[in-house]
Amino acid sequence: MSAPALGIRRVVLPVRGMHCASCVAKVEGALKKLRGVTGVAVDLPSRTVAVDFIPEPGKLEVRNLRRAVEKAGYDVLGESETRTQAESMSLLSQQAEQRALMSRLQVAIVFSIPLMLAHTMNLSPYTALFLAVPVQIWGGWHFHQGLSRALLRRSADMDALVSVSTWAAFLYSAYVVLFPETLPAGARVTQWDAVSGLIIFVTFGRWLEARTRGKTNEAVAKLMRMAPKTARVVRGGEESVVPLFEVEVGEIVRVRPGEQVGTDGEVVSGRSTLDESMLTGESQPVEKAAGSRVWGGTLNKNGALEIRVTAPGDESALARIVEAVRESQATKPKIQRYVDKIATWFVPAVFLLAALTAAVWLRWGPEPRFLLAMTCAVSVLASACPCALGLATPLAVVAGIGRAAEMGVFLRNAEILEEAGELDIVLFDKTGTLTEGRPRAAGAIVLRGTEAEMLAWALACEERSEHPFAAAIVALAKERKTTAPTVDSFEAFPGRGVLVRSGARTVRAGSLPWLKEEGVRVPADHARRFSEAGSLLAVSVDDELLGAFQMEDALRPSAPAAVAALKEMGLEVYLVSGDRNAAAYRAAELAGIGTVFAEIRPEEKAGIVRRFQSEGKKVAMVGEGFNDAPALSHADVGVALATGTDVAIESADLTLLNPDLMTLVRAIKLSRRIRLVIRENLAWAFIYNLLLIPVAAGALYPHFGILLRPEYAGAAMALSSISVALNSLRLRRKDVD
């Protein structure tokens, strides 16, 4: 789910009792029926539900949402504005549930051991019945609770399947013990092993699955554990250690060597190097001095720093990243929506199939047909597994997005996983993306006046601009102690340039083609001189061209390797730049890109994206500037560098905190691996059900004499969920990227 729109409130509810895909479908359905609910995102691994709704006093409030979930048969543990807080509440509940599961499992095992050995120990049938009662009642209580809730809401889930199957075996066995004379001799067989086996295997499977599922979220949990809890604040000249939530914007905090930076801020004094690997995935320490920006959660290595706080702890980069990862993990790829639809009818279909199985055996089965009918029907109920279907996608998404976060890659939502894995074309912007984005003024072509005058007018234009060329002009002006004329108005034209008015003068600084469009004449005798130059920032005053500054920008060291790796993966790579032909082709040649679109306007970049898409291609656009935003928005996957502008980052689907372009290669590889794991999980879940349910129904009995006992069916069902969780955990390995 994206951020809620104005007037829409979001609340995150931790919910107890969700175990499978059918649970997800029921909760979503119950909430979406409420008028005013605009979005619902259920995260099964964390058991939280994010709801976007339009509040209406007396008609639609949080209590109405809670009531709808509880009416569907689930417990709401609380409410929160963020998924992180909701998960904390849910985690405590899940830990308590795990302890309860282990307690019930231990009791079931203790009473089941003599029950399984009843024949060897020569126990009386009544003693066996006495031992079976605590196994069925206490050991299977969590399943029976689920059945009672299912009856109240007139729908069924995984708990209902297990409860019905164990009650069927238990009641039949009790009847055999109490009224044996009413049954044929061949049917007087108790099924205590089926009762014990089902409860033990399925409970153990659920407990193990819960433990394994928790490991898929280790990446984000690690980030949360690394977040600092206190800060050293300077107040009234005195230093004091206070909880991080008490630190306010504008205050000065001190960070000693070896300590973590508590909040986002700006260094006001001191010099040091910071380890930012937890945010960027880059292990190389970054130098910081007065004026440098720092991020909460990073580690100060060797110097003392004084930092002015620019964002409170709960709004720091680390906090925002954790929340963003949580939100993206809770979204669903398109394939999961189809799985959810299947889950809505899966459990009812299983009950129908079990009834049909019993009817077929009673009508056409051999003696003892009643015993065989009951055994096969219970086996069908025990073998059906919506849990594996429900966990197949979300566990892979949680593990994969967590691994991406460790790499310094953040995805806006899970749908990007599918898009990134299907890419055909990657388009790179040049300045700040393929190059380092720190151009410098390497020279000047002066046509009128002096270079100092041209620099002063350029500074008037670029002081307020976000373009990388602007930083180069400001740096040059600072070096030469140049001051800008007074500016009365400022107007930016993304991808083209800047227009300012200073008194009666109209000043433009930007690309030469844009100045020509604005009526600025380029002398014919200097046209060749300009065309042979590389990147230029031209300056004009009152439609007269003063000249241009020549800009140089170094190629990112990782660019050639990243381009080569993308090509090896079968992707087409192009350079799309608003820069001049000479500069664009020079950068493309150094990076190993064969096709270049140069002197392109922002809207034309978006047009190039649409053109490739019209040919049926999946397109990624990689950029970092304000002028890249339209293309980033139109691309199937918009990729922004975190060093870029806020507009570019907001327009992108995928953000690279580490400017190393090989991170993009690793992100696409990881996306492909996540898609593969999701498909493997779903294939296993579907194949398991398609093969095991017919076997459980007795399809092999007529020709091979093979009958799947209920306890073995339950063990196989538990194994299918565990296998899905373990397969998803493979994404946590570092060798996948």
Q: Pairing mode, if any, of strands 535-541 and 505-510?
A: antiparallel
Residue type, 631: A
Residue 534's alpha-carbon distances to 160, 180, 583, 595, in angstroms, are 72, 97, 5, 18
Give the Cα separation of 701 and 376 in Å (integer): 10
Q: What is the end-to-end Cα distance of the chain in Å, rounded?
A: 26
Q: What one-character DSSP code corresponds to residue 626?
A: G
The answer to whether residues 177 and 129 touch, using CB atoms and an 8 Å cutoff, is yes
Provide the phi-psi class of 122: left if phi over 0, else alpha when psi is between -120 and 50, else beta. Answer: left
Sequence-distant (≥ 6) Cβ neighbours of residue 312 within 8 angstroms: 245, 247, 248, 249, 263
Q: How far is CA 149 from the centre of its chain?
A: 32
The label of the residue with tokens 């930083």 reads 471
Which residue is catalytic, options 429, 628, 636, 660?
429
The answer to whether residues 327 and 50 touch, using CB atoms and an 8 Å cutoff, is yes
Question: What are 188's two structure tokens?
Answer: 């007087």
Provide the phi-psi class of 640: left if phi over 0, else alpha when psi is between -120 and 50, else beta. Answer: beta
Provide the phi-psi class of 572: left if phi over 0, else alpha when psi is between -120 and 50, else beta. Answer: beta
Sequence-distant (≥ 6) Cβ neighbours of residue 585 within 8 angstroms: 596, 598
The label of the residue with tokens 């048969």 reads 73
E-assigned strand segments in 281-378:
286-288, 293-294, 299-300, 305-311
E-assigned strand segments in 572-699:
572-576, 595-597, 619-623, 637-641, 654-656
Q: What is the dihedral of CA 131, 134, 135, 141, to 10 degrees?
A: 170
Q: Rg (Cα) of the chain, in Å, rounded?
A: 33
The answer to whether residue 429 is catalytic is yes
Question: What are 28's two structure tokens?
Answer: 């979503």
The answer to whether residues 652 and 456 touch, using CB atoms and an 8 Å cutoff, is no
| Long-range contact set of residues 580-588: C-beta below 8 Å, sequence gap at least 24 | 580/511, 580/512, 580/533, 580/534, 580/535, 580/536, 582/531, 582/532, 582/533, 582/534, 583/430, 583/534, 583/535, 583/551, 584/430, 586/534, 587/430, 587/434, 587/435, 587/553, 587/555
Strand partners of residue 37 = 53
Provide the phi-psi class of 570: left if phi over 0, else alpha when psi is between -120 and 50, else beta. Answer: left
Residue 168's alpha-carbon distances to 165, 198, 247, 370, 553, in angstroms, are 5, 12, 61, 12, 76
Sequence-distant (≥ 6) Cβ neighbours of residue 590 within 8 angstroms: 555, 559, 560
Backbone angles phi, psi at 280, to 5 degrees: -105, -15
Sequence-distant (≥ 6) Cβ neighbours of residue 57 within 8 angstroms: none
The answer to whether residues 332 and 25 touch, using CB atoms and an 8 Å cutoff, is no
Q: DSSP secondary structure string, 26-90?
A: HHHHHHHTSTTEEEEEEETTTTEEEEEE--BTTTB-HHHHHHHHHHTT-EE---BSSHHHHHHHH
Backbone angles phi, psi at 352, to 5 degrees: -65, -40
Catalytic residues: 429
